[in-house]
Structure 1
Amino acid sequence: MGLTMGLNLLLLVAMVATNILSLYHLSSTIQSKPTPPPAPVPDHLRHQLNTIRATLTHLTRLRSTSSSSASSATPSDLLLYTHLSPMASSCRDHPDLLHTYMTYTPFSLCPDDSQLAESLILRGCHPLPRRRCFARTPSKLPSSLPADPFSPLPDSAVLWTKYSCKSFSCFDGGLGFNMKLEASRFTSSGSNLDLTIPQLLQIAKDASSVIRIGLDIGGGTGTFAAKMKPYNVTVVSTTMSQGAPYNEATALRGLVPLHAPLQQRLPVFDGVVDLVRCGRAVNRWIPTVAMEFFFYDVDRVLRGGGYLWLDHFFSKGADLQKLYAPVIGKLGYKKVKWTMANKTDSSGVKNGEVYLTALLQKPVSR
């Protein structure tokens, strides 16, 4: 019996010793292996973390000063949206503007701050957070609105406080508010750079293609959309009211303005648009990488066989060949029209700029 107990004790000691040696070997093996570098943090996660950090920093600063002044307290809606996080991540770069925008009295009239809203939107803070206040409207509305999109626009239907001009007649004729001048657009050709609506529709007809829905990027006061209405083509215009009431004028003409900047994703579903026209808002002032993203977003919303129309795109001549033409070429679209000419105004001559008018057709399938 004593022998059995001794043997059991010996086996127990051997088992413990074996486990200790195995544990030592395992730990030494792990220590001898070089520690792998940490996995890189994805850009989108880093961006979100920076957003949270910037927002918390700003809110902390505001909290620290709120005890001395009740008016500087953090708006409750801004605190709410930091938890829900529907704000564009670029809002983090402009916390002071965002705080000002969200400082208002709930359930009352909104501040007259549409210019502040556009400043945030143009800085990439889009979409803006919602607010619980009532948008301001003109106190004296016209008795009727024009049925003809080329009728004179009623001044009383616009809030003029944010504009230097106080009537539509105050603006320069080239800005799109002179309806007599707008009525003649897209109907005649003054040079090879021009593409008229009849020519466009004939090109589509010859290609057995149908144009029913269009998107006008940087559509100004919506003249292209107005000219397409008689052809039973529905066109929605993206526009900003920078310095002039472009959104207001478009709506007064019975057309639909999309208050959306160029640098944001188009608020349109994939592959549902027959035509995208890019007016002069799309030009060399857009950074090349941002423009590349823009063109691929246009490709996203265009259906197979749809058309991309670059209408008087301007850039430096060398940049067109070296930068923009290759970006456009990556889309793999068929060149229906590709016409270049010198930009002959003072800015064009000084900077060696050229115009490009191109009509490109997306492949039916890839």
Structure 2
Amino acid sequence: MGFTMGLNLLLLVAMVATNILSLYHLSSNIQSKPPVAPPVPDHLLHQLQTIRATINHLTRLQPPAPPSAKAKKSTVTIPSDLLLYTHLSPIASSCKDNPDLLHQYMSYTPFSLCPSDSSVAESLILRGCHPLPRRRCFSRTPSSIPTSLPKTPFSTIPEKALLWNNYSCKSFSCLSQSNPNLGFDMKVEQSRFLDFKSDLDLPIPQFLQLTKTSKSVIRLALDIGGGTGTFAAQMKLHNVTVVTTTMNLGAPYSETVALRGLVPLHVPLQQRLPVFDGVLDLVRCGHAVNRWIPVTMMEFLLFDVDRVLRAGGYLWLDHFFSKRADLEKVFQPLIWKLNYKKVKWAVANKNDASGVKNGEVYLTALLQKPISR
């Protein structure tokens, strides 16, 4: 009995001693000075200040909390739309699938000139990473400004108004010599869309006559994959406003469209058309719309065209090429899903080397959206 009491007393003393030691250790740590943190680099401090300023700005735009019974009602009402538009847009979800390209694109010095890497930007855009998240660098500009700009869309384009760093050719003459069909020779472009050489052609005068006969008015149009904007240029002479979608794949297409006094949209084929529903009289699909587009994407494009066309508007497929079997089994049924009126439907063999090898054909179709469904 005495041994058990002695053992319990010993355990009690040990527990008290342990608590006293722990309390002493804790108090000594509290009294000791914390280690000095390493200095924060200036550029990180600047970025933190920018983030803090943005958060403070957005916080001030938040709607006021509901007033309590004792508080006075606020006389300031902030529109809900204002709060919505102050939200920072997130990176497109597909950007995470291309980390190497995104890292290459985002490797730049803040508040300096942006790198000359438009090819990297277009690689991201074509993969669905758009709009791009680059924010704090300044766009590059040409070293000299031209004294005058073209007065008509077929005038000579000043080459000094462009940045040529990202292209193998450094002039319009070089581009025209490499391929006359690229659209940079204004003497050649001046006669395009005006001649009738085969059933596949639909000259602009004939198209306008067809629309006049059906009592349709053509004022606003979209040219998908319009290159240097020659279709828009020709339609401008008939007082029709055409916006051109294009990409700078190997040549300055967007800049050329703009220098011609036209409007370029730098968007890929897989992007939703940046136009409201039912507002366009015409959508033309040029050579960029062809059999290389995946069928799912082609279906998306056609139904997005239907979305932006007004009742009675026109879809113009200009020299769409595909294998004959694919046209009959895949693309033709896909186009007919729209249930549009066929104004013109012409199919002919594609007689170049690639067309003969792959058994390809051209399709030119002019289709009119129903007035009622």
Report the TM-score, using the length of structure 2 for normalisation.
0.75
Whole-Å Cα distance in 2 between the matches of residues 128 and 274 of structure 1?
Answer: 31
The answer to whether the Cα contact below 8 Å between 1:239 and 1:246 also exists between their aligned partners in 2 is yes
Aligned to 1:129: 133
Partner secondary structure for residue 231 of structure 1? coil
Give the one of 112, 118, 122 matched to 1:118: 122
What one-letter code is carried by the residue in structure 1 that aligns with 2:354? S
Q: Which secondary structure does the structure 2 equivalent of 1:132 belong to?
A: coil
Amino acid at match of 2:197: G
Q: Which runs of 5+ in 1 are unaligned?
A: 1-69
2:174 match: 170
Aligned residue in 2 for 1:352 = 359
Counterpart amino acid of residue 220 in structure 2: I
Q: Deviations over 1:316-363 (max 9, x none)?
A: 000000000011000010000000000000000000000000000001
Determine if the alignment matches structure 1 residue 161 to structure 2 residue 165. Answer: yes
- Pairwise CA RMSD of aligned residues? 2.2
What is the match of residue 208 of structure 2?
Answer: 201
Larger Rg: 2
Partner Cα distance (1:93, 1:84) in 2: 21
Which secondary structure state, in structure 1, belongs to the residue aligned with residue 247 of structure 2? Answer: coil
| 2:128 match: secondary structure | coil
Q: Take 1:170 and 1:139, find their aligned partners in 2: how far apart are those partners? A: 21
Could you tell me which amino acid in structure 2 is paired with residue 123 of structure 1?
R
1:217-274 CA-to-partner distances (Å, cap 9, x unmatched) read: 0000000000001111000000000001101111110111000000110111111010
**Equivalent residues in 2 for 1:82-93, closer than 5 Å:** 84=88, 86-93=90-97
Alignment of 1:265-284 (within 5 A): 265-284=272-291
Q: What is the number of residues matched between the two proteins?
A: 293
Listed as ranges, the gaps of 5+ residues in structure 2 are 1-40, 52-86
**SS of residue in 1 equivalent to 2:232:** helix
CA distance in 2, matches of 1:176, 1:124: 27
Which segment drifts farther, 120-129 or 248-257?
Answer: 120-129
- Give the corresponding residue for 2:261: 254
Task: Give the corresponding residue for 2:76.
Answer: none
Are 2:240 and 1:233 equivalent residues in the alignment?
Answer: yes
8 Å CA contact retained: 1:102, 1:131: no
Cα distance in 1 between the residues matched to 2:366 and 2:325:
21
**Is the partner of 1:358 in helix, strand or coil?**
strand
Q: Deviation of residue 87 (structure 1)?
A: 2.2
Which residue type is aligned with residue 220 of structure 1? G
Q: TM-score, normalised by structure 1?
A: 0.77
Q: Which of 337, 344, 360 is equivalent to 1:330? A: 337
Superposed CA offset, 1:272-312 (max 9, x none) = 01000000000000000110001001111111100000000
In 2: Cα distance, 1:111 partner to 1:134 partner? 9
Give SS of 1:335's match. strand
Given the alignment, which residue of 126, 143, 156 partners 2:147?
A: 143
Q: What displacement does 1:129 show?
A: 2.1
- Distance in 2 (CA, whole Å) between partners of 1:127 and 1:300 is 22
1:75-103, Cα deviation, whole Å (9 max, x unpaired): x79xx8xx955222111110121122222
- Farther-moved stretch of structure 1 (160-169 vs 148-157): 148-157
**Matched residues, percent identical?**
73
Q: Distance in 2 between matches of 1:128 and 1:276?
A: 27
Where do 4+ consecutive residues of structure 1 move more than 6 Å? none
Helix, strand or coil at the partner of 1:308: strand
Give the match's secondary structure for 1:320: helix
- Alignment partners' CA distance in 2, 1:248 and 1:299: 29
Is the contact made by 1:121 and 1:127 (CA closer than 8 Å) also made in structure 2?
A: yes
Offset at residue 111 of structure 1 (A):
1.2
- What is the alpha-carbon distance in structure 1 between the residues aligned to residue 127 and residue 107 of structure 2? 19
CA distance in structure 2 between the partners assigned to 1:85 and 1:246 by the alignment: 28
Greater shift, 257-266 or 135-144, is seen at: 135-144
